[in-house]
Structure 1
Amino acid sequence: MSLTPSSAPPVWRELLGREYLGAAIVLAGGVLVGAINIYLAASLLPTAVADLGGASFYAWNMTIYLVAMVIATMLTGRFLSRWGNVGAYLLGFAMFTASSMACALTPAMAVLLVSRGVQGLGAGLLSGLGFAVIRSALPSRLWTRGTALMSAMYGVGNFAGPALGGLFAQAGSWRPAFVVMAVIGAGCGALVPRVLPRGERGAARVPVPALSLLLITAAAGAVSVAGVVAGTLAKALSVAAALLLMAGFVVHKRRSGLRVFPRTTYRRGSPLKWVYLTLGLLAFGVAVESFLPLFGQRLAGLPPLVAGFFAAAISLGWSVTQIGSSSVTGHRAVRRLRVLGPVLLAAGLLVQGLLLRGDTPLWLAAVWVPVLFAAGAGIGLAYPHLSVAAMSSTQDPEEGGRAAAAIATVTSLSIAFGTAVAGVLLNLDGGSMLDAARYVLFGLAIICALGALTAQAANRTSRDDQAAIHSGT
């Protein structure tokens, strides 16, 4: 089994040429709308609360959306088997478009939260489909560039979400932002039948992994509760419960016939589990973007719109670096980038924490931007190569689709848990915003640094696996 991309150099001009441009727009657009909406509502929510009320539900806005995304990505295989490429994509864009309009027209906070849940389901399905359908929509020589384009959409979305939300919030009108998202979703959906292969529908219906979904939802809920309950013991018990539920999820998926991850993941000595862990630890660092606007406003006195752009420096670094990183094809260079990425991400978060001050002058706040850009660059260096490693882990089309769809599941799940963990760290401050910010940044830096170890394990087991193949063992 090879976990390295094709040696044939991919060409951006070919991916964005007439033959594949439509497919690239649909694949990237589906990921983009979901990524934008992770943070769009966060920027709009203060204005929405002033209009609708329901401030007590504020913290659940992000949790409901992200958990719904995770659930939908886990069901991607079922939708593909039932509806094929075109049908599944049309369903995803329809859910996203309708729920975005429902958000725009909502009369109450409870309706907004339900609509955000449906929006998360549509966004999660679209994210999962992007990585699953790329195998049939694009030739293998373009997988690296196609994956880079889609994963860059997480960075672009995390930049555009706060910016778009901040613009509408500053104008005092939050509802049109959701209308804009509905229009984008409808436009991408209209392209689907013309640019994507229909794909084969499965002969047998894929069962719903109900217990897996329950365990994931309960684990995310437990971490979210840890962020709001009072007392160290209560927080520790909530986190412990989340870890036990996640361990139960892993054990169940290993034994169950209803797999979210391909069977290769569970094979002894397989590098695939380390690839997914590294992807997850990289995505974990993205969670800090939910809190950077708060730190910018409280510690540096930045206005909301400026703080939103400041927070997007990580995403910008991710997106820009990924474009260049995807051009690297040498096996040794790719392995180095997989390890360097988590190191650079962790170092950026660590330095950012050291630069924080209680009353930050403007010149020092300006220094934060290149530091956070460098942290995001760590994600961009490693993410596309890890994604292609997962997609190339098997020649079986069904298992390959499962391996690709699992990339979106891991990314969404890690961002959801990273946001919840950062919320727990934020509430350890004892009233000091400076201490809270440092807890978040240092804590996430330590967790993300573990990605260097998992990347080394992926590289090592990949070489061992290839050596076994060449020796015929």
Structure 2
Amino acid sequence: MTETRADTATAGSWRELLGPKHLGASTVLAGGVALYATNEFLTISLLPSAVAEIGGHRFYAWVTTVYLVASVVAATTVGAVLSRLGPRRAYLAGLTVFGAGSLLCAIAPTMEFLLLGRTVQGAAGGLLAGLGYAVINAALPQSLWVRASALVSAMWGVGTLLGPAGGGLFAQFGSWRWAFGVLVILTAAMAVLVPVALPGRAATGTEAAALRIPVWSLLLLGAAALVISVAGIPRNPVLTAVLLAGGLGLIAAFLAVDRVRAAQALSVLPPSAFRPGPLKWMYLTLGLLMAATMVDMYVPLFGQRLAHLEPVVAGFLGVALAVGWTSGELVSASVDRRRAVVRIVAVAPLVMAIGLGSAALSVRPDASVGVTIGWALALLVTGTGIGMAWPHLSAWAMGTVQDPSTEGATAAAAINTVQLICGAFGAGLAGVIVNAQHDDVSAARWMFAVFSALAAVTAVAAYRATRPAPQSGSSSS
């Protein structure tokens, strides 16, 4: 582990990050992720109204699936696009395409047209979400990386809060198209800010690199995302499990191919991830923590069925995890002492495990108000666990590569790729568990219990992620 992970002598502050000098860059970096996350949850909330108007109920699940698959595929190209275009033009390209996709959704006359718009949105959103991490090391000094990572990832919590509320509001007034129209306006406003907020090219590279897309890695990871996403559609648990296994096989093939292509600078993961050192464990920890949060998909459902909550109230029960995540990382990002940071990262998965385990133990039919509040607190603890570790692991991943000038952007962009693909796998795994049970109580209890175990096992990866990088010539991994 290098000293750059938590150098207290050079640690920046929230005031510096959000001050006049860096406010524009911080707004763009966070805003791109906020657009992606808000759009994801907003569409889920207003989709019933859209289907009621334009039809296409048989394609209901595909509205989310095409968005996710396009996002994962686009996320694999972030490093190449950033090297070729530089931060400013890369963001302008992403925002332009995202605005066009949002416009297509707003004017969609049929479900097929809406799916086209969602595919375009997903491709641009995956690029924007990846750039949110990848441009940190080009637009901001290293002393602000931890806080910038916390700010960027906090936008997922913001999206979880604003998306369902905004989508529900537009749907309530029968104006679902205007929800996408507002996204077009917000995208245009952010595009105006980009030229004055971001550098034309990273300080480490003055020449535009050739646009080299990792095609084989892209195809394998895209296929994995598709298979894993489709796994959540059927109600047959055996078929879902088979699809998940197929997705894991494709991910294994992706890692094998990416390892070979890394030597040719044509990989999604940075070459340092395949060398001895903690980087691979950082990505694994981030991915497993992300997968464990996907219990959130079923919280509103169980809130309605087990606690008999109204849909709106059940939806806000699911927000508890996002609130814990956001608050946990904003507080954790202010910790600068290296020893304290290492301990926080090491214990974070266990905090998640405790939260999920508490939720499993408290599941019961006809839950009282007190029990429901207990669920919310357990989810709050769960979110706090991932929030404690996320900004530090993200900053470490950007600073642990052997050659930051050539690997830094790839390492940062890979954070988003890992987050997306592991989130899809977590959602599919949750679907297998829930669909395999015959009653809601068993489904909820087993889901929370299995994901609690997953979070606990992640503590091993987190421990390895905090170990020092080996000295040159060492063979340890």
TM-score by length of 2: 0.92
Q: Which deviates more from structure 2 when the two are superposed, residues 221-230 or residues 366-375? A: 221-230
Q: Is the 8 A contact 2:55 2:110 kept in 1?
A: yes
> Given the alignment of the two structures, is residue 424 of structure 1 paired with residue 432 of structure 2, yes or no?
yes
Residue in structure 2 matched with residue 340 of structure 1 by the alignment: 347
Q: Is the 8 A contact 2:130 2:416 kept in 1?
A: yes
Question: What letter matches 2:318 in structure 1?
Answer: A
Q: Which string of whole-angstrom CA distances, capped at 9 and with x for unpartnered residues, describes residues 399-446 of structure 1?
A: 11111111111112222222222222221123x222222333223222
Give the Cα–Cα distance (whole angstroms) in 1 for the partners of residues 412 and 270 of structure 2.
Answer: 9
Out of 411, 419, 423, the position equivalent to 2:419 is 411
User: 1:235 Cα shift?
Assistant: 3.5
Counterpart secondary structure, 2:466: helix
User: 1:35 Cα shift?
Assistant: 1.3
Give the Cα–Cα distance (whole angstroms) in 2 for the partners of residues 271 and 117 of structure 1.
Answer: 35
Q: Is the 8 A contact 1:84 1:201 kept in 2?
A: no
Residue in structure 2 matched with residue 265 of structure 1 by the alignment: 273
Q: Unaligned 5+ residue runs, structure 2?
A: none
Out of 354, 360, 369, the position equivalent to 1:353 is 360
Question: What letter matches 2:449 in structure 1?
Answer: F
Q: Which string of whole-angstrom CA distances, capped at 9 and with x for unpartnered residues, describes residues 8-42 of structure 1?
A: 23211111111111111001101111111222211
User: 1:344 Cα shift?
Assistant: 1.2
Moved over 6 A (4+): none
> Given the alignment of the two structures, is residue 249 of structure 1 paired with residue 254 of structure 2, yes or no?
yes
Give the Cα–Cα distance (whole angstroms) in 2 for the partners of residues 414 and 319 of structure 1.
Answer: 19
Q: Is the 8 A contact 2:72 2:225 kept in 1?
A: no
Q: Which deviates more from structure 2 when the two are superposed, residues 94-103 or residues 300-309? A: 300-309
Give the Cα–Cα distance (whole angstroms) in 1 for the partners of residues 67 and 41 of structure 2.
Answer: 10
Residue in structure 2 matched with residue 216 of structure 1 by the alignment: 221
> Given the alignment of the two structures, is residue 400 of structure 1 paired with residue 408 of structure 2, yes or no?
yes
User: 1:78 Cα shift?
Assistant: 1.8
Give the Cα–Cα distance (whole angstroms) in 2 for the partners of residues 99 and 427 of structure 1.
Answer: 33
Q: Which string of whole-angstrom CA distances, capped at 9 and with x for unpartnered residues, describes residues 240-289 of structure 1?
A: 2222111111111111131111111101x310000000011111123222
User: 1:229 Cα shift?
Assistant: 4.1
Question: What letter matches 1:80 in structure 2?
Answer: L
Counterpart secondary structure, 2:367: coil
Give the Cα–Cα distance (whole angstroms) in 1 for the partners of residues 206 and 36 of structure 2.
Answer: 25
Give the Cα–Cα distance (whole angstroms) in 2 for the partners of residues 98 and 340 of structure 1.
Answer: 43
Residue in structure 1 matched with residue 58 of structure 2 by the alignment: 56
TM-score by length of 1: 0.93
Q: Is the 8 A contact 2:244 2:425 kept in 1?
A: no
Residue in structure 2 matched with residue 34 of structure 1 by the alignment: 36
Q: Unaligned 5+ residue runs, structure 1?
A: none
User: 1:324 Cα shift?
Assistant: 1.1
Q: Which deviates more from structure 2 when the two are superposed, residues 100-109 or residues 12-21? A: 100-109
* Identity %, equivalent residues: 46
Residue in structure 2 matched with residue 309 of structure 1 by the alignment: 316
Counterpart secondary structure, 2:5: coil
Q: Which deviates more from structure 2 when the two are superposed, residues 73-82 or residues 374-383? A: 73-82
> How many matched pairs?
465
Residue in structure 2 matched with residue 453 of structure 1 by the alignment: 460
**RMSD between superposed Cα atoms in Å:** 2.0
Give the Cα–Cα distance (whole angstroms) in 1 for the partners of residues 60 and 456 of structure 2.
Answer: 31
Question: What letter matches 1:261 in structure 2?
Answer: L
Question: What letter matches 1:123 in structure 2?
Answer: G
Give the Cα–Cα distance (whole angstroms) in 2 for the partners of residues 314 and 135 of structure 1.
Answer: 29
> Given the alignment of the two structures, is residue 115 of structure 1 paired with residue 117 of structure 2, yes or no?
yes
Give the Cα–Cα distance (whole angstroms) in 1 for the partners of residues 42 and 29 of structure 2.
Answer: 20
Q: Which deviates more from structure 2 when the two are superposed, residues 308-317 or residues 160-169? A: 160-169
Give the Cα–Cα distance (whole angstroms) in 1 for the partners of residues 227 and 96 of structure 2.
Answer: 31
Q: Which deviates more from structure 2 when the two are superposed, residues 238-247 or residues 399-408? A: 238-247
Residue in structure 2 matched with residue 239 of structure 1 by the alignment: 244
Question: What letter matches 2:90 in structure 1?
Answer: A
User: 1:206 Cα shift?
Assistant: 3.1
Counterpart secondary structure, 1:259: coil
Give the Cα–Cα distance (whole angstroms) in 1 for the partners of residues 237 and 294 of structure 2.
Answer: 22
